[in-house]
Chain A
Amino acid sequence: MTGWGVGMGKRIVQITVNGDTTEFLCEPRQTLLEVLRNTLELTGTKEGCSNGNCGACTVLMNGLPVVSCLVLAVEAAGAEVRTIEGVARGSHLDEVQSAFLEGAALQCGICTPGFIMQAEALLARNPQPTEEEIRFYLAGNLCRCTGYDKIVRAVQRAAQLRQAAQQNGRS
């Protein structure tokens, strides 16, 4: 296995987060969520329930969405992890972020990072999802403020924006 070693009860783990390769020390019982927030100080990923029910801690691991509270940090050894902090390109928001912002798809905002990561995963595999597909794919993320209406519309809008951007890029 690559990327981790043993010492004093803690493990050294190497992962790539938002494009930067980094190493950290962790106990085997620590979750990826805890390490992201407390060790790597990437607090954009939120903790809502610690047992995989709410989706607030969703990040992409090797391109797939995971609830980082159910992934042990040592399991992430060698992985490419993308968090909410790695979505914007420099100071430019990506289409999902812009659509959430302009569509008022957040109220308190605590679930927003998880929804954005899940939506990124959806649009990567299905660039033109139907409303039904969006609702199904986001069903693991709980939002208590918005009633989901504007979140679903924001994902629809993001799909349009991304398609338009790609067409512009091609022409």
Chain B
Amino acid sequence: MAPDVKQRKYQVIGTRPVRHDGVDKVTGRAKYGADQRLAGMLEGAILRSPHAHARIRRIDTTQAQAMPGVRAIVTAADFPEQGDRIVELGEGMANMRHLSANVMAREKVLYKGHAVAAVAADNVHIAQAAAQRIHVEYEVLPAVTDVRAAMREDSLILNEEIRTQAFGSAPASPDAKPTNIAKHFVFELGDLAQGFGSAEVVIEREFDTSTVHQGYIEPHNATVSWNADDRVTVWMSTQGSFTARQQTAELLQIPVSHVKVVPMEIGGGFGGKISVYLPPVAALLSKKTGRPVRLVMSRADVFQGTGPTPGSHMRVKLGVKRDGTIVAGDAWIAFEAGAYTGSPIGPACMCVFSCYNVPNARVEGFDVCVNKPRTSAYRAPGSTHVAFAIETVVDEICSQIGMDPLTFRLKNAAREGIRRVDGPVYGRVGLEETLAAIQASEHYRTPLPGKYQGRGVASGFWFNVGLKSSVSATVNFDGTVTLVEGSTDIGGTRTSIAMQLAETLGIAVEDVTPTVVDTDSVGYTDVTGGSRVTFATGIAAVEAAKDIQRQLVQRAALLWNVDPSAVRYEAGSVWGPQQQCLRFKELAAELPTTGGPIIGRGTSSEATQGGAFATHCVDVEVDPDLAKVTILRYTAAQDVGTAIHPSYVEGQLQGGVVQGIGWALNEEYSYDDQGAMRNPTFLDYRMPTCYDVPMIDTILVEVPDPQHPYGVRGVGEVPICPPPAAIANAIYQAVGVRMRHLPMSPPRLWAELSKNSS
């Protein structure tokens, strides 16, 4: 008889095993990028621009070159010319001219902190001293730092070769006028004029958000060895070893197969460790010296030289009937791309109305170059900005028509069959379930009577991506399985992948040993990002497990001398026609004499997931004298599909919420009028500490995604979307002011409170 598996749906999925890499990470043994050390290794330093916008007239390296211990210096002159090639990089694309100029400035510097030259020396102190003795002659230009100013016809232009690329239009002619507006999007649905014509309440508001950084604790790093055979090995922290390999190869114009990226443990990424900064620089320094070179950024370099997420200016208009039915929505969104094109303006446009059924809608978006660091992805890129705008407008409408904000959202919620503004129709999604979960929560039902206290709710959406993953899995003769994968593990995914393999094989997760390997040792795998790893690499692991099952069935058929079609795999055992049974471990022991090793392989190329929704509820207290906001209580409900390892799912929600709280209340790049960041330290760029936040309660709503064998939905990104809006709505309930500029820091809140009381 087959063991009774009906008591619980799954044996492994939904349990909370200790993660496989855990012991190494609590004992200090885990090797992160900056821990790499090679014999004969040199250390490097990068000279960065002190100006936000300047033409480079001349670089003189003579003095630096002459210093004892200095082994090599590189500038943009050492990099190959790229031309305006557009290259697909797995997750997104890049103009190689821009990517190269971002790694090492050519002709112009476009932001303070832009790399200009690099030194390799016997140690980091010599390298840093030498970098300071490289003399750069600049022609300083005015800095363009405001998104709306950069869009004006008469604005100074950052990149002379940029023409506006409108989505769904042929590329603009090179004869067209140069501009800072790199991209333009328009989405339309239904009849906007008729929609607003039928509205009984219309609210239109403008919003600004400041530039914020992902704030991972581990700075960027790369150690590179350029061998005499022109093979290049890169040890680094990266969210995607394969995209790092491709970017490095393209930037150096060497074959991609000549670059091997060895992903070290990674100390946080949140989207910021996809684009490459250091490997090509270290590679050229290694090529010049014939020795391995290690580059590690300082915290100031990380803030000023790597991609934050855009600042924005947005306008959102929503029209409703008195009964709360949404009839029309209009949004205008401009994102600061930073020095080069590439902000997440497309997804932002697609997300702004994504939580609602808006039958008549228009969204217009702009990707605009300004003299700030080239932006990169940050957790649900673009969605948090627009959630802040739409969710506070919704709250204002609810106040005006006197409707409970959850009831309003339930009435208009996106659900299966609803057409989005960008066209496609939703499949099975779980927004309503998250709204109902908050509505039923003890938190929402408990009154909050205190003076200066207020409660806010907000929802958020993120697509989640699928992309490509590969794994292989070897059955060891002792009945364990070695799982090899290419997805770098930022938050416990070795275990969430291994659990899916174990579930499918019917074995214990402790009997699976997952390993993240280099780009020569596993098939192509896209980045750890887009909330995709547990979904897509999970699918690949399930495929690999099924491949193993098929092979085990054949071995058992051989042993029992029956046809393989009469043998089945179930609950961790193979079963023969006479109810013969061999447990996985028993059959593994027979492998040496029945044909040798078994290797299962799996790939996935699911381009999209079903999408994730979250609804959050927050209680705040505002100090009326200091305008400081304290988070009293926080509950996050999210459709997580199926929670593979609930502890790490909760952890994603809690971490996303606290990043969102930082974005809401404190974090921002503070710029002076020359475009220089004034606060490039963790002291002044104020991320939440554990003293700033309470426990973060989570409600895991499980609406399985039919596109995954176990119903997984990505969980990592959407929890950052609701917090700024939920907190803004709570502040309104507490003190009666509407905040429309992030962060809602004490000075900004104080200014609004003062207006109210005067």
- A contact residues vs B (CB 8 Å cutoff): 27, 29, 37-38, 41-51, 53-54, 56, 83-85, 87-88, 93, 97, 100-104, 106-113, 116, 134-136, 138-153
A142 and B691 in contact (CB under 8 A), knowing A43-B35, A46-B32, A107-B490? no
Contact pick for A44, options B22, B27, B125, B298, CB 8 Å = B27
Residue of B nearest to A136 (CB): B691
Q: Which residues of B contact A (CB under 8 A)?
A: 16, 18-19, 21-23, 25-32, 34-35, 37, 125, 214-219, 265-270, 296, 298-299, 490-492, 645, 647-648, 650-659, 681-683, 687-693, 695-696
On whether the beta carbons of A144 and B215 are closer than 8 Å, the reply is: yes
Between A and B, 5 residue pairs with Cβ closer than 8 Å are A87-B27, A108-B217, A148-B654, A148-B693, A150-B651
Is B25 a contact of A112 with CB atoms below 8 Å?
yes
Q: Given that A93-B26, A116-B26, A145-B491 are contacting pairs, would A110 and B267 also be in contact in the complex, using a CB cutoff of 8 Å?
A: yes
What chain B residues lie within 8 Å of A103 (beta carbons)?
647
Beyond A109-B267, A144-B270, whether A48 also contacts B219 by CB under 8 A is yes
Which label, helix, strand, loop or mixed, suits the secondary structure of the A interface? loop
In whole angstroms, how far apart are the Cα atoms of A144 and B16 in the complex? Answer: 22
> In the complex, A103 Cα to B218 Cα: how many Å?
22
Task: Decide if A146 touches B651 in the complex (CB within 8 Å).
Answer: yes
Q: How far is the CB of A143 from chain B (nearest CB, A)?
A: 7
Which one of A29, A107, A113 contacts B491 once the chains associate, using CB atoms below 8 Å? A107
Q: Cβ of B490 and Cβ of A144 under 8 Å apart? A: no
Q: How far is the CA of A102 from the CA of B18 in the complex (A)?
A: 6
Kindly provide the distance from the CB of A55 to the nearest chain B CB, expressed in whole angstroms.
Answer: 9
| Closest-CB distance, A67 to chain B (whole angstroms) | 12
- Smallest beta-carbon distance B574→chain A, Å: 34
Measured CB to CB, the closest approach of chain A to B26, in angstroms, equals: 4
Most buried by B among A43, A107, A112: A107
Q: Which residues from chain B contact A48 at a C-beta distance below 8 Å?
A: 217-219, 267, 299, 682
CB-CB under 8 A from A84, the residues of chain B are 26-28
Contacts of A147 in B (CB 8 A): 651, 653-659, 693, 696
- Supposing A108-B267, A142-B682 touch, asked if A46 and B27 sit within 8 A by C-beta, the answer is no
Whether A56 pairs with B217 at a CB distance below 8 angstroms is: yes
- Residue ID in chain A nearest B32 by CB atoms: A110
Is the pair B682, A49 in contact by a Cβ cutoff of 8 Å?
yes
| A49-B682, A50-B299, A53-B682 known; A109+B689 contact, CB < 8 A | no
A43–B216 alpha-carbon span in the complex (Å): 18
CA distance A108 to B273 in the complex (A): 13
Contact (Cβ within 8 A) B22 A106: yes
B218 contact from A42, A46, A97, A104, Cβ within 8 A: A46
Q: A51-B681, A108-B266, A148-B690 are in contact. Are A93 and B23 (CB under 8 A)?
A: yes
In the complex formed, the residue of A with least CB distance to B43 is A38
User: Which of B26, B125, B650, B688 counts the most chain A CB atoms within 10 A?
Assistant: B26
Across-interface contacts of B217 in A (CB, < 8 A)? 46, 48, 54, 56, 108, 110-111, 142-144
Q: What is the CB-to-nearest-CB distance from A20 to chain B, in angstroms, rounded to a whole number? A: 15
Give the residue among B267, B491, B647 with the most A Cβ atoms within 10 A.
B267
Contacts of A104 in B (CB 8 A): 16, 19, 492, 645, 647-648, 650-651
